[in-house]
Amino acid sequence: MRKFNKILCLLLAVAMLLSLAGCSSSLGNAASGKTIAITDQNGDKVTVPKDIKRIVVCDILPLPSVLSVFFDSADKIVGMSEASMSAAKNGLLSELYPEILKADTKFMKGSDVNVEALMALKPDVVFYNASSKALGTQLKNAGFNAVAISVNKWQYNSIETLNNWISLLNQMFPDNAKADIVKNYSNQIYEKVQKRVAAIPEKDRARVLFLFKYSDASISTSGKSFFGQWWADAIGAVNVASELTTDNALEVNMEQIYKWNPDMIFITNFTQAQPADLYGNTIGAYNWSGIKAVQNKKAYKMPLGMYRSYTPGVDTPVTLLWLAKTTYPELFNDIDITSEVKTYYKSVFGIELTDKQANSIFNPVSASASGF
CATH classification at residue 305: 3.40.50.1980
Q: pLDDT tens for residues 192-221? A: 999 999 999 999 999 999 999 999 999 999
Spacing of C-alpha 219 from chain mean position: 22
Q: Is residue 299 part of a domain?
A: yes
Whether 154 and 201 map to the same domain: the answer is no
Of 76-80, 274-278, 320-324, 366-370, the one with minimum mean pLDDT is 366-370
Whether 230 and 156 map to the same domain: the answer is no
The answer to whether residue 345 scores a pLDDT higher than 90 is yes
The residue type found at 314 is V
Whether 349 and 206 map to the same domain: the answer is yes
**Positive or negative torsion for Cα 24, 29, 35, 37:** positive
H or E element that contains 173? none
Q: Is residue 249 part of a domain?
A: yes
Domain count, the chain: 2
Q: Is residue 13 part of a domain?
A: no
Q: Is residue 28 part of a domain?
A: no
State the residue range of the domain holding 125.
33-177
The answer to whether residue 186 scores a pLDDT higher than 70 is yes
Helices (H) and strands (E) in the chain, counts: 15, 14
User: For the purposes of burial, counting CB atoms within 10 Å of the CB of 313, is it exposed (0-12), middle (13-18) or buried (19 or more)?
Assistant: buried
Q: Is residue 241 part of a domain?
A: yes
Report yes or no: 149 and 128 within 8 Å, Cβ to Cβ.
yes
Does this model's pTM top 0.95? My answer is no
Q: What are phi and psi of 274, to 5 degrees?
A: -120, 165
pLDDT value of position 306 = 96
Question: Which residues have a Cβ under 8 Å from the Cβ of 183 and sit 6 or more positions away?
Answer: 163, 166, 167
